Structure 1
Amino acid sequence: MDWDKIRIFHTVAEAGSFTRAGDELGLSQSAVSRQISALERELNAPLFHRHARGLILTEQGDILFRASRDMRMRLETTRARLAETRERPSGELKVTATVGLGSLWLTQRLPEFLDLYPEIRVELILTNEELDLAMREADVGIRLRQPTQPDLIQRRLFTVHFHIYASPDYIKRFGEPKSLEDLDNHRIISFGGDQPSYLLAVHWLSTAGRDLRNPRQTNCIINNISGLKTAVENGAGIAVLPDYVADANAQLVQVLRDVEMPSLDSYFVYAEEMRSVARVQVFRDFLVAKAQRWTY
């Protein structure tokens, strides 16, 4: 099969129309259509159902799309390996991390990494969803639980501990809780929204010291750790926060210090095929070194 036609087919399948694919490829709509028709004749199989609303892959088209996607991924990996050496890692590194850890811990350390490796361009994707690294939705990931996929290489970084925090101004206005029962008389800010259950589980102030069937009132729910931190800093209430956001932060005061709190282990993960890619190796080594110096 002609790889150029396969490349055009792959673009069309992702775009869902000849026109959008042509815009991406720099070809006219008619040129793209002719290439697809020629490929269908070569394979003696229809690849798309053509509708006024767009293109839908046939069963044969779906088989070819899966194969073309695998070929494209392998070519991209090969290109990256050929383009770099261990001494001068270069190219794009697509990193995914949870929103809190990525925005409040990782971004503080990225400037040093970029100074060390100026030929690496980092794309940081912050999401609490676990992107499929085996399908190259990202090159590497930093996760707050151990991966279950068998085809991922993993390296434990550090343990993230959580504690209860308030601001000095809040304590001045409302006093400091001395027990979990005292939280009934305080404003509670909670982490919420459409989040993975393992992240929601550590933010348990609404049920701490209470019957689970009778949770205390939550005054505010925020679906972002950065926003949760800002709200606490400005005296909105009391919340559970990861300790890394409170490091050397005079606007946050830990309360109820004797209460045993949950923790999550962080992991650096990547697909087996990325094992020998130099920019992945140096980023891994950089984070491992930082993790040894920063234990939360």
Structure 2
Amino acid sequence: MGEISRRRADWSNLRVFFAVAETGGINAAARALQINPSTVTRAIEELERQLNATLFHRGPRGATLTEAGEAAFQRVRTMERMAEALELEVGDSETLAEGRVRLAAPDGVAGYFISPHQTEFLRAHPGIDLSIDCGLWPDRPLDGEADLTLTFSEPTQPDAVAQPIAYVHYALFASREYVSLYGAPKTIEDMLHHPYIHHSAQTHQKELWGERVQAWQTLTHKRIETNSSSVCVQAVLNGVGIGAMPTAIASVEPDLVMLDVLTVGPAKLWLVHHRDAVRPARVRLVKDWLKAIFDPKTRPWYRSEFVHPDDFAAEADKADGASKGVRKAG
């Protein structure tokens, strides 16, 4: 193995050899490569020593290939073409908005807050495909490591780039039909008389929900307990009971009514990726798209301060007016 390594031609020397053969002279190759002519000479001499062959006839009119040099040139030209093809192929994957982007996100976030915006994005970028892993089948994950991850857990990996992309406030919701039939509870104690749709994540987020709410959740009648946000939303929509959800749900499900009994949060939603993950253009585009989806300027329910669903439209209009004013001033 050591003998093979010793005799293998250096790539940089082959590059210099190719330049001399293409330009026909030491000085011309030096100018093309922007290096010193003596460096070119040393590279050719080293390559000839490694190959144990004379590659050029040197004369007053420049350097011409010997028979061995011509054979070497044909091989190196093939290598050069392969290198160019590789650059184009890999370069395209970095600069063109094409290929698959893998996103990991909680099922509720993906299903209710990302999915409604997919059509517009994918129509604008027909070369991009999405894989969205919601973690519901741990034994059957989607292929490949996620390029981008949305999570409510603050990342601790040293090589991770993380930023809070949204603040999520929680409140109690019921369907309009449920409120019409059974009335709306006025206090958290009143909630004990209503069936509750419980998401198991609320049990583990003690720092978010607090001891008082935890105690209430222990006493309340959990009509349905699940680890699926979709099950919670659909159960509440269909009048099974009352459930705690992000206030943002009111922006996509107008049949849900926020009950002015309890507000919790905010919880930070983090956008996380490896430092090199966003080099391809397709990943950068998806990252920018996600940031636009959760932009608190245009969607006030993602602000750090609490905004009541009754004020969503007014706050969004206010932000839109301010944006138009800035554009007009500019």
TM-score interval (norm. to shorter): 0.5 to 0.7
1 or 2, which has the higher helix percentage? Answer: 2
Amino acid at match of 1:157: I
| Residue equivalent to 1:270 | 273
SS of 2:276 mapped into structure 1: helix
CA gap of 1:128–1:80, structure 2 versus 1, over 3 A, is farther
The answer on 1:236 being equivalent to 2:240 is yes
What residue is the counterpart of 1:25 in the other structure? Answer: none
Aligned equivalent of 1:176: 184
Q: CA 1:90/1:114 → structure 2, altered by over 3 Å: closer, same or farther?
A: same
Q: Partner of 1:249 in structure 2?
A: 253
Supply the distance in 1 between the matched residues of 2:165 and 2:270 (Cα, whole angstroms): 5
Change (3 A) 1:106 1:261: same
| Structure 1 counterpart of 2:84 | none
Instruction: Identify which of 185, 188, 205 aligns with 2:193.
Output: 185
Post-superposition shift, 1:81?
4.5
Q: Kindly state the Cα deviation for residue 209 of structure 1 after the two structures are TM-superposed.
A: 8.2
Change (3 A) 1:82 1:107: same
Residue 84 in 1 paired to residue 87 in 2?
no
What amino acid is the match of 2:280?
Answer: V
Q: 1:281 aligns with which of 284, 291, 300?
A: 284
Further displaced range: 233-242 or 269-278: 269-278
Counterparts of 1:80 and 1:261, CA distance in 2: 50
Which of 141, 152, 155 aligns to 2:149? It is 141
Question: Map of 1:1-296 to 2, 5 A cutoff?
Answer: 81-86=90-95, 88-127=96-135, 137-192=145-200, 197-198=204-205, 208=213, 210=215, 215-247=219-251, 249-257=253-261, 259-292=262-295, 293-296=298-301
Letter in 2 for 1:117: H
Q: CA deviation at 1:106?
A: 1.0
- Relative to structure 1, the CA distance from residue 164 to residue 201 in structure 2 (aligned partners, 3 Å threshold; closer, same or farther) is farther
Structure 1: any 5+ residue segments left out of the alignment?
2-77
* Percent of aligned pairs with the same amino acid: 23
Q: In structure 1, how many angstroms separate the alpha carbons of the residues matched to 2:151 and 2:145?
A: 15
Provide the aligned C-alpha RMSD in A.
3.3
Residues 123 and 162 (structure 1), Cα distance of their counterparts in 2 relative to 1, 3 Å cut: same
Q: Take 1:129 and 1:152, find their aligned partners in 2: how far apart are those partners?
A: 24
Any idea what the Cα deviations from partners look like across 1:126-158, whole Å, max 9, x if unmatched?
Answer: 12799xxxx952111111232111111123211
Task: Name 1:7's counterpart in structure 2.
Answer: none
How many equivalent residue pairs? 211
1:103-137 CA-to-partner distances (Å, cap 9, x unmatched) read 1111111112212211111111112799xxxx952
How high is the TM-score relative to the length of structure 2? 0.56
Alignment partners' CA distance in 2, 1:211 and 1:113 = 42
Q: Answer whether contact 2:197 2:242 (CA < 8 A) is retained.
A: yes
Paired AA for residue 213 in structure 2: A
Does the aligned pair in 1 maintain the 2:171–2:264 contact within 8 Å? yes
Unaligned runs of 5+ in 2: 2-86, 302-330
Classify the secondary structure of the residue corresponding to 1:208: helix
> Do 2:104 and 2:150's aligned partners in 1 also have CA atoms closer than 8 Å?
yes
Deviation string for 1:184-242 (max 9, x for gaps)?
1111111128x9933x87578x9638478x62332221221111111111111111011
Counterparts of 1:241 and 1:80, CA distance in 2? 46
The two structures have a TM-score, normalised by structure 1, of 0.62
Shift of 1:286: 1.7
- Alignment check: 8 A CA contact 1:207 1:216 kept: no
Q: Distance in 1 between matches of 2:136 and 2:287?
A: 20
Q: Is the radius of gyration larger for structure 1 or structure 2?
A: 2
Relative to structure 1, the CA distance from residue 94 to residue 237 in structure 2 (aligned partners, 3 Å threshold; closer, same or farther) is same
Please state how far the C-alpha of 1:278 moved relative to its aligned partner. Answer: 1.2
Counterparts in 2 of 1:90 and 1:182: CA distance versus 1, 3 Å: same
